[in-house]
Structure 1
Amino acid sequence: MHTVVSGYSDRGYERLTKVFGRVWSGGLGGGALAVFDNGVPVVDIWCGNRDARGEQPWTESTAAVIYSASKGLSSIVIHRLADRGLIDYDNPVAEYWPDFAAEGKSDITVRQVLSHTAGLSALSGMSRSVHDALDHELMQRRLASSRRDELAGKPAYHALTIGWLLAGIAKHVTGKDMRTLYQDELCAPLGLTQLSLGTPRPPVQVADYVDPRRVFTAVARDNLLARGTRFPAALGGASCRALYMGPGTARMVATSPEKYLTGTQMPAANAISTARDLGRVYAALATDGRVGADRLLSAERVRMFDGERRWQRDRVIGLPMSWNLGFHRSPVPGLAPGFGHVGLSGCFGWADVNSGLSVGFVHNRLPSTLVGDLGAFLWLVPLALRGQRAARRLGGPGATATDMPVAS
């Protein structure tokens, strides 16, 4: 059996292309992968199917909901505003958003929000139903009027709340919602047409999500999440409280994103992108803030993202995490160098300043293989780095290929 990988890749990246093709050889959804070397595209490939029936092939303009990989993009919006002197990371959020000072939160800083230490990770109590969570303005108001929880000051993944917090800060600084800011602060500077917060622009097609082994659908049941919110933090309660939006949570996550996620603004979870556009954003973070002639951020700002390496156990995720200004490193130090953000399904954007390499990976398979899907960056990033070294041994870019058959 052969799987056809469409697109192109430079010489040296054959191993990466072959492994990528094998991922989709069983008809289990589809995806796309883009790699940039110092801002130059060296891999742009896609494979598999974009619909749940396995009948429609993934194409060059197929995009996917990237879940928590959205957080990296929403953080970059804040960094763009900071670059212009509109935001200081160490200023209190309430300086920009006065209502946020309620319930003793006047000292929480923007930096604490970006590092998941603001003590506002718990969604339960703020969202009584999925419909509440789909109303981004309502969620911003509830966060502003809420009190911090017992995990304040400790790393505790703000799985959904960080998106509304960043949107609230940005709205009070610019007067614009986060969907508009995605266009103004991410797409316009880099000339992107296949990236959006929620509803994409034609001809972009949003892939259906598939759960081929039904593991995720079985695990993410409302009754399990609701029961878990009553557990102590150490027994998984913190994780459930950060994820449970109310009745209908599992259905929203496990069904077609067109029905629930494309129409709202959930800046921590519903960005939609092709691998190419996601990789191009991170290409600016892997260099000096530019991609070719297009500048996204100042070189000084970008240098901040590859800062101090401190791994601490995250009270929600349960893994050692190194958070810095909205990005994270590999929970396994040294295995995938660089920083970025991975989403629920394993989609991710990644940058490595030492090599100048950036990677964008999107797909439509819910994490039925759990470790395999969520840890995709742990093997794709090293493979991309190996390809970069091979390409340089070969003397730079070579002939590209399209419609490549890959044995599976």
Structure 2
Amino acid sequence: MINLKWFQFLKVKVPARLGGVIDVNEATERPAEDGDLSQKDVNEIWKAVEDLYRSGAYPGVSFCLRRRGVVLLDRSLGHASGNGPLESVRAEKHLLKTDTPICLFSASKAVTAILTHMLAEDGKIDLDAPVARYLPEFGVAGKGSTTVSQVLSHRGGFPTLDLPVGDLDPALLLDWDRMIKMICDAPPTPGRANRMSYHAITGGFILAEIIQRVTGESVKKFLDERLRKPLGMKYFQYGLEPQYRDHAALNYAAGTPVRYPISKILERALMAPIDKVIEVSNSDVFMDAVIPAGNIYATAEELSRFYQMLLDGGTWNGQQVMKPETVQRAVRPASGLSFDRTLNIPMIYSEGMMLGATPVGIYGPMTAGAYGHLGFMNILGWADPTRDISVGLLVTGKAVLGSHLIPFVKLMTTLGLRCR
């Protein structure tokens, strides 16, 4: 007998006409020709975003596209809350706005990495030096030769902590000292030393602790002073201030239920089942916490703005936020295409970024020059110098498998073709 649960698809209710669930930031959008595109190009890109929303995998989608530094699309679709796949039709619904804060999850890693590169630019650290130079206790368990560069490029040898799956205590997220001690005390994972293995949570804590030890200030303050304020961001910070929480987008389970072996891979990386991660992510504990690898809140436009600054060699509105050579090091390949032993797929990393590839990569076809970062699950921020674009794509459905995959690929392909 067929088990129908294997084919269940958690899907949101998508209206036949999307006009009532679209928010357009008319204050930021500019005509297509200002970005050296035709209106047909922009219309086709937006249609691909609409098709992604119509897949039913996301209660909300927020999208921002800059071309030649000009905002051509800054729009959102759907709901911030109240239209989850399992919510009642009577649930109170709140539209997703372009200024609604959404958690970036692992797309936060790129920001923490850039902060680390900025610290090196200041001459405060050497990226090629051992982590133990700055955190002596890090080296006592056999990780003494692990460099900052290796942590940035997911070759640090400590991709996860040995926690029983399901034992992720939300209170642990607020216990910074305990997290640092657990990571420092942990020996390298057997067979992972200097081998590519995605550090979903652990690497971010170590990088942020280096920043705090060296500067003597919190990583939140460092982010505030070096990126959030210079770029004029409203959110773009670890966690979310209480006054914004009623306005924040909720995260929802969606898509086809994830089964073994994919579920095992994700649980090992996240140190908890997917449903638990989603539940915790909507809590005050999560929004109070500082999780350097996973809880920056931002809008799609803010994420695009961050990548535009990198695309422009570290400048924003005429201000030099970081040096061009610092950007160049942050986005250059740390190695060639290699098999990631955590994600079980081939990847190319820089010291902090997921890189594109040719003939096809995570940013679409022929994107060898692109750099950015993916977030749980289809959140994506990136820049593509070849096409002169910086993009933010934020979604609130945590769908791994399902009908969204084809329109997701179509969107990435459409962007590449229309922005040539």
Q: TM-score, normalised by structure 2?
A: 0.80
What CA deviation, in whole Å up to 9, does each residue of 1:142-173 have, x standing for no partner? 21222211111110111111111111111111
Aligned twin of 2:308: 283
Aligned twin of 1:406: none
| Pairing of 1:8-407 with structure 2 (within 5 A) | 8=29, 10-11=31-32, 12=38, 13-25=42-54, 28-53=58-83, 55-125=93-163, 129-130=168-169, 131-150=171-190, 151-200=192-241, 202-203=243-244, 205-213=247-255, 215-216=256-257, 219=259, 228=264, 236=265, 240-245=267-272, 250-254=275-279, 257-308=282-333, 310-330=336-356, 333-335=359-361, 336=363, 337=367, 338-367=370-399, 369=401, 372=404, 376=408, 378-389=409-420
What is the distance in 2 between the residues matched to 1:374 and 1:350?
20
1:241 positional shift: 3.5
**Over 6 Å off, 4+ runs:** none
1:24 positional shift: 2.4
Aligned twin of 1:396: none
Q: More deviation in 195-204 or 291-300?
A: 195-204
What is the distance in 2 between the residues matched to 1:314 and 1:51?
35
Could you tell me whether the CA contact under 8 Å between 1:289 and 1:302 is conserved in 2?
Answer: yes
What CA deviation, in whole Å up to 9, does each residue of 1:116-158 have, x standing for no partner? 1111112224995423244233111221222211111110111
Could you tell me whether the CA contact under 8 Å between 2:23 and 2:96 is conserved in 1?
Answer: no
The 1:256/1:82 distance shift into structure 2, 3 A limit, reads: closer
Gaps of 5+ in 1: 229-235, 390-408
What is the distance in 1 between the residues matched to 2:291 and 2:244?
22
Could you tell me whether the CA contact under 8 Å between 1:80 and 1:296 is conserved in 2?
Answer: no
The 1:374/1:64 distance shift into structure 2, 3 A limit, reads: farther
What is the distance in 2 between the residues matched to 1:297 and 1:260?
33
The 1:32/1:295 distance shift into structure 2, 3 A limit, reads: farther
Aligned twin of 2:5: none
Aligned partner of 2:414: which letter? L
What is the distance in 1 between the residues matched to 2:223 and 2:259?
32
Secondary structure of the 1:190 match is coil
Q: More deviation in 155-164 or 9-18?
A: 9-18
Aligned partner of 1:182: which letter? L
Cα-Cα RMSD: 2.8
Q: More deviation in 17-26 or 99-108?
A: 17-26
Aligned twin of 2:88: none
What is the distance in 2 between the residues matched to 1:311 and 1:370?
27
The 1:109/1:17 distance shift into structure 2, 3 A limit, reads: same
The 1:200/1:373 distance shift into structure 2, 3 A limit, reads: farther
Q: Which has the higher contact order (CA 8 A, sep 6+)?
A: 1
Gaps of 5+ in 2: 1-15, 33-37, 85-92
1:74 positional shift: 0.9
The 1:102/1:323 distance shift into structure 2, 3 A limit, reads: same
1:325 positional shift: 0.6
Q: More deviation in 293-302 or 65-74?
A: 293-302
What CA deviation, in whole Å up to 9, does each residue of 1:160-200 have, x standing for no partner? 11111111111111122322222222201211112111114
